[in-house]
Structure 1
């Protein structure tokens, strides 16, 4: 029980350290901007609507209308992907992911070492 509490406390401390890390804070701020950006929200809705139309046109056997809907989807998606907030979001997401991967790999390495040492000591006894 005490070991579980130590682990939980360590996880909470790690979580707080990560939350305070500049790359994570920057990512969270850009994420907020992206979620509130009216043009991005409008583009998301336009893309969803065009996707629905493409599916309906395909279902009703209207290949030309379907192709036009797909072209519209592609154009809207390109505009979305080129938006400065989206580009910043993706860059900050990559940085945050790199940090989290580093932390995860470090924890995994330390846990594996502890297991190996525990196994080594157990076999010596």
Structure 2
């Protein structure tokens, strides 16, 4: 029988392993390049400022000003998206997220299957032993 502390210890080890994968290394390099790039930093600062303005305009019902700011935001986002350094960063984010999702799904799937198996359930139907053993008996006929 394992304790929560045992499991958390293993989770930390798994997290450390994951942080040393190609996907995470690629992400770290891409993030560093983003932060080192003056153009990206300036565009991000402008974007942040415009987003704050947009919130204010929205709160005060300044629809015309809001539309103008939203257009500027859209243009800056488009400019950023067209920069190879930004697309590499976004690709790296997706890859790390996919790795995390894959591990999470694998853990969830394993726990579910272990519960089903240990209770004498049916993996094909996804029912635990309690569900299988307490299901109404439909095979007997009463005349």
What TM bracket, shorter-length normalisation?
0.7 to 0.9
Q: Distance in 2 between matches of 1:109 and 1:53?
A: 45
Q: Say yes or no: does 1:31 pair with 2:31.
A: yes
How many angstroms does 1:68 deviate by? 3.5
State the SS of the aligned residue for 1:120.
coil
TM-score, normalised by the number of residues in structure 2:
0.68
> In structure 2, what is the equivalent of residue 86 of structure 1?
86
Shift of 1:71: 2.7
Q: Which has the higher contact order (CA 8 A, sep 6+)?
A: 1
Work out the number of aligned pairs and report it: 123
Of stretches 46-55 and 100-109 in structure 1, the one that deviates more from structure 2 is 46-55
Aligned twin of 1:44: 44
The superposition leaves residues 65-120 of structure 1 with CA deviations (integer Å, 9 ceiling, x where unpaired) of 54433332222121112122210011111111222211111111111111112322
> Which aligned pairs between 1:35-114 and structure 2 lie closer than 5 A?
35-54=35-54, 59=60, 61=62, 63=64, 65-114=65-114
Structure 2 residue ranges without an equivalent (≥5): 122-128, 134-143
Larger radius of gyration: 2
Structure with more of its chain in helix, by fraction: 1
- CA separation in 1, counterparts of 2:13 and 2:55? 48
1:16-61 CA distances to partner (integer Å, 9 max, x unpaired)?
A: 2101111111112212222332211211121233344455566475
Instruction: For structure 1, list consecutive stretches of 5 or more residues without a partner in the other structure.
Output: none
Give the TM-score taking structure 1 as reference length. Answer: 0.77
